Structure 1
Amino acid sequence: MPALAPQPRHALLPDLERSRAVLVACDDDAVRVPEFQPAARTAQLAEALASARTGMAFHPGSVAVVTSWQHPAEVFDAVRRAAEEASDVLLFHYAGSGLRHREFALTRTVPGSDNSIPLRAVADIVRDSPAARQVVLLDCEHFEDASSYFTRDPVPDGSSTPHTLSLLGKQPSMYFASGDDRIPAGDEFTDTLAEALRSGVEDGPEALDLVALRNAIEGRWAQLRYYVENEYIGAPDTLNLVGGRDVALGVNVAFGPDGDRGRRPFYLDAGVVDLMERWWD
């Protein structure tokens, strides 16, 4: 019996040989539970992006996770290496809150120089990459500032980049009190994205582009707020999205009649519901 021909890779998925991903996290010293830290959530997303079960958007050897860095130069080196090597998809993910995040995303190391803001310098490296498709995922406080570094206007001579940039993300909107500070909690983008990739999206497309993922995540948050009956839980948040139809971050394990029926429903995370209800009670 002849061997079955390998299934063609979906065109929206990154090319495994020519794509790179860099995931960076700034942990918050106010968060005492390690699994709630940006680094832990970032590790979950890295695993989902490189999982064979979800289509292996990126080869495991092409995913760099930078979570214990001591100086921005370590981040610059990882992003620069990926930007130089990627010719198809370059993905940059950033999650952060707290003092270290503010130092990385807002503080000028040279007064008056925008380019001396570390995250702004990272954005310049990403924008200068020859990658045909650039994806930026941001899960951080001061989202508007962070996203503007990647989506600023074309250069003054009127020329525009030939590359395609997609950006998806938000800043936290739900917080727990911690002394004089606040800790983001309950509706983080990174771990929700990872769960969408792992569990699939009911009635979603075969390949999960950023538009499909955005819609699924917003739907999940709407379900979460429905099940947490409390006046402090408002309407579902909206994810900011630029582009998003040109690249997929995984195949949909729930797609079609042969979809994975053994997965847990994506729309509801009972553990988060219990956490929120216990906190507000």
Structure 2
Amino acid sequence: MATDAPQQRHALLPDLARSRAVLVACDNDAVRVPELQPSARTARLAQALTSPDAAGAFHPDAVTVVTAHRHSAEVLDAVRRAAEEASDVLLLHYVGSGPRHREFALPSADPRSEGTAPLRTVADIVLESRAARRVVLLDCEDFETASGLFAGSPSPGGAEAAGGLCLMGKPPSLYFGSGDEAIPAGDEFTATLAEALRSGVADGPEVLDVVTLRNAVEGRWAQLGYGVENEYVTAPDTLSLVGGHDVALGGNIAFGPEGDRSRGPFHLDAGVVDLVERWWD
């Protein structure tokens, strides 16, 4: 009896057995809605990266989400373990804002300390890993400083990242007030990326390489800006990107005539538009 041959996995997708991902979130105490915390958005991205519906980039057991990192050793241990185990793709995602983020990502101003930010150590581990393809996604305040740890330059625009490394990210560009704090809102990168992976990109390729994902996320923000007709709402910044053609973070569920379009690939989120318009009324 003839049997169907196993379908070969697309070459741009990470090898499931030889790839690892670590997603790190620094929550912000000024954010009062748990669903809007970096840890909640990071959890949604982890789910999208492992979704079997969209040829998940990673096996669920190969993805570590670290959110309780008041002690940075937990993050460093997770990144070291992933870097040691990954020989194909090593992905690091970091999202953060507020005081905890600053403690994690910026050098200490205290002269009694060594002045080394934990994120710098994370960057060293990633850059020294033996993974053939390394992907870094940064969604944080102080983006230029954070990205410079990985790209070797304080300004990632046009910079050459270390060999075999793809870097994509941005700082927040739209804030809402919350007491004495200002919290990112409206054009958030992590949640939009997760939605692109979950819903697929209409008229996109078979798998969602990082360049395609960057273009899709920017397109979503452009659509959001068109929907929010208010002179006080600034357009989101573009995503900085180095590399990205040689690795995909998921299959495109909306690809081809048989694609699943029931979830409406990347339609405008009217709820976000309403929220922004109500805030400025």
TM-score surpassing 0.5? yes
List aligned pairs for 1:42-57, cutoff 5 A.
42-57=42-57
Matched, 1:239 2:235: no
Secondary structure, aligned partner of 2:53: coil
Aligned-pair CA distance for 1:14: 0.3
Cα separation, partners in 2 of 1:88 and 1:233, compared to 1, 3 Å: same
Look up the equivalent residue of 2:13 and give its one-letter code: L
Query: 2:151 is matched with which residue?
Result: 151
Task: Provide the rounded CA distance (Å) in 2 between the counterparts of 1:205 and 1:111.
Answer: 51
Amino acid at match of 1:173: S
Gaps (5+ residues) in structure 2? 154-159
Per the TM alignment, residue 109 of structure 1 is displaced from its structure 2 partner at its CA by 8.1
The Cα of 1:69 is off from its aligned counterpart by 2.0
What is the alpha-carbon distance in structure 2 between the residues aligned to residue 152 and residue 277 of structure 1? 39
Runs of 4+ in 1 over 4 A off after TM superposition: 109-115, 160-163
Q: Look up the SS of the partner of 2:103 in the other structure.
A: helix
Do the aligned partners of residues 240 and 218 (structure 1) sit closer, same or farther apart at CA in structure 2, a change above 3 Å counting? same
Partner of 2:212: 212
Determine if contact 1:208/1:251 at 8 Å carries over to the other structure.
Answer: yes
The residue identity in structure 2 corresponding to 1:142 is D
Equivalent-residue separation in structure 2 for 1:242 and 1:263 (angstroms)? 30
Aligned to 2:157: none
In the TM superposition, what are the counterparts of 1:117-136 in structure 2 within 5 Å?
A: 117-136=117-136
**TM-score, with length taken from structure 1:** 0.93
Q: 1-side partners of 2:110 and 2:87: how far apart?
A: 32
Instruction: Kindly indicate whether residue 78 of structure 2 is the aligned counterpart of residue 84 of structure 1.
Output: no
Name the aligned partner's letter for residue 212 of structure 1. T
Q: CA deviation at 1:111?
A: 4.2
Structure 1 SS opposite 2:139:
strand
Residue 156 (structure 1) aligns with: none
1:157-202: per-residue Cα shift (whole Å, max 9, x none)?
xxx9984000011010000012222010011100000000000001
Could you state the TM-score of these two structures normalised by the residue count of structure 2? 0.93
Partner of 2:141: 141
Matched, 1:224 2:249: no
How high is the sequence identity, in percent, across the aligned residues? 71
Backbone CA RMSD of aligned residues: 1.8
Q: What SS is found at the alignment partner of 2:138?
A: strand
State how far apart, in whole Å, the 1-side matches of 2:68 and 2:241 are: 28
Q: Distance in 2 between matches of 1:225 and 1:90?
A: 34
